[in-house]
């Protein structure tokens, strides 16, 4: 009887998960189909999973404008790779240091990291500090450093993993053998931290890839060459919205990127994440579970 009840619950759980998975994938499927929909059909009938007419016009526009979009795509890749690599190294080093029980001032440093998860200086002071003090305006550092390079939440995940998922005896054995803290970190901690590092790296990579706010804040017309694909898509949306509400501009909206083109650009922007994510999925749940254990 108990076995039948367990099977029933398993079947119900599988059905629920299948429904939730479908609901999660449905918007992405609609996005892709909309990018292949004929513009006239999309404007008159709206977006549909079964459009009356398909068209490649949106992707023809992307090919024609590839000089601008390709540069934005390249900048997105550069910013994501550099930001994720540097951020991952800094997060792992800080997390390892905070996991040491004998570290002087450990409680104060842990409090400082947790405090940054709850409070920040606000947008205006942050902007003034980065522009006036660090001079990141219209530089690639404006896309990498502010807000994304180091996250208190990710630091605590890594710290908890180092503290609870790797036996302390391994650290002590390395030190007894004469290994310094740097060697212990690189030869003991890092090789055993693949799940949490893959999880943190995926989170950072997605944050950098989808970020458009830093470009909005720290790039002006002088820094247009540094626009990422998200900034380009955001500018296209804002320009069309402005022209659509200002009939006196004298600009023909038919000459501007259309709704289906914006969908196509969004597909091009999100496609790499959809391709990479399945390769990290097996580490994601494990890393989150182990890193979330209270230390």
Pick the range with the lowest mean pLDDT from 3-12, 196-205, 261-270, 280-289: 280-289
Q: State the Cα–Cα distance between residues 170 and 167, nearest whole angstrom.
A: 6
Pick the range with the lowest mean pLDDT from 188-202, 204-218, 232-246: 232-246
Q: What's the pLDDT tens digit per position in 52-110?
A: 888 888 888 888 878 888 888 899 999 999 999 999 999 999 999 998 888 888 889 98
**Rounded to the nearest 5°, which phi and psi values hold at 294?**
-70, 130
Q: What is the mean pLDDT of the chain?
A: 83
In a domain, 12, yes or no: no
Say if CB 211 and CB 128 are below 8 A apart.
no
Which range of residues forms the domain containing residue 64?
Answer: 59-291
Given a cut of 50, whether residue 228 has pLDDT beyond it is: yes
- Report the interhelical angle of 57-64 vs 66-98 (nearest 10°): 80
Return the pLDDT at 86. 94
In a domain, 46, yes or no: no
Number of domains in the chain: 1
Q: What's the pLDDT tens digit per position in 138-167?
A: 999 999 998 778 888 899 989 988 888 888
Q: State the Cα–Cα distance between residues 70 and 77, nearest whole angstrom.
A: 11
Say if pTM beats, i.e. exceeds, 0.95: no
- Report the interhelical angle of 152-164 vs 259-291 (nearest 10°): 30
What secondary structure letter does DSSP report for 1?
-
In a domain, 40, yes or no: no
The average pLDDT across 190-216 equals 88
Say if CB 45 and CB 60 are below 8 A apart.
no
Percent of the chain topping pLDDT 90: 18
In a domain, 101, yes or no: yes
In a domain, 53, yes or no: no
- Helical H segments across the chain, by residue range: 2-35, 39-45, 57-64, 66-98, 106-118, 123-128, 141-144, 152-164, 168-176, 181-184, 194-210, 213-218, 229-244, 259-291
Decide which of 67 and 237 is more confident.
Answer: 67
Which CATH number goes with the domain that contains 212?
1.10.3720.10
User: Mapping DSSP to helix (H, G, I), strand (E, B) and coil, where does residue 213 land?
Assistant: helix
Return the pLDDT at 243. 61
The average pLDDT across 44-57 equals 86
Say if CB 270 and CB 76 are below 8 A apart.
no
Decide which of 72 and 279 is more confident.
Answer: 72
In a domain, 283, yes or no: yes
Those residues with Cβ within 8 angstroms of residue 76's Cβ, 6 or more apart along the chain or in another chain:
209, 228, 229, 230, 269
Going from the C-alpha of 19 to that of each of 12, 47, 254, the distances in angstroms are 11, 22, 40
In a domain, 237, yes or no: yes
The average pLDDT across 197-223 equals 88
In a domain, 221, yes or no: yes
């Amino acid at each position: 009887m108990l076995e039948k009840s367990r099977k029933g619950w398993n079947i119900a759980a599988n059905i629920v998960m299948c429904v939730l998975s479908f609901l999660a994938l449905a918007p992405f499927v609609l996005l892709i189909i909309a990018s292949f929909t004929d513009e006239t059909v999309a404007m008159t009938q709206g977006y549909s999973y079964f459009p009356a007419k398909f068209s490649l016009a949106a992707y023809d526009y992307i090919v024609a404008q590839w000089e601008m979009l390709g540069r934005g795509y390249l900048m997105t890749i550069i910013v994501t790779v550099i930001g994720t690599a540097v951020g991952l190294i800094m997060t792992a080093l800080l997390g390892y240091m905070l996991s040491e029980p004998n570290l002087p001032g450990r409680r104060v440093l842990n409090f400082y990291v947790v405090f940054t998860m709850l409070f920040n200086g606000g947008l205006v002071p942050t902007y003034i500090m980065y522009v006036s003090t660090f001079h990141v305006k219209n530089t690639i550092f404006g896309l990498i450093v502010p807000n994304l390079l180091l996250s208190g939440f990710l630091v605590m995940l890594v710290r908890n993993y180092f503290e609870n998922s790797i036996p302390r005896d391994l650290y002590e054995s390395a030190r007894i053998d004469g290994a310094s803290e740097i060697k212990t970190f690189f030869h003991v901690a890092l090789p055993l931290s693949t799940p949490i590092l893959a999880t943190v790296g995926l989170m950072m990579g997605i944050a950098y890839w989808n970020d458009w706010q830093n470009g909005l804040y720290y790039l002006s017309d002088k820094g247009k060459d540094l626009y990422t694909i998200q900034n380009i898509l955001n500018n296209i949306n804002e320009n069309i919205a402005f022209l659509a509400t200002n009939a006196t501009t004298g600009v023909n909206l038919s000459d501007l990127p259309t709704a289906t083109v914006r969908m196509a650009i969004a597909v091009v922007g999100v496609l790499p994440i959809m391709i990479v994510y399945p390769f990290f999925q097996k580490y994601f749940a494990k890393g989150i579970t182990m890193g979330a254990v209270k230390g």
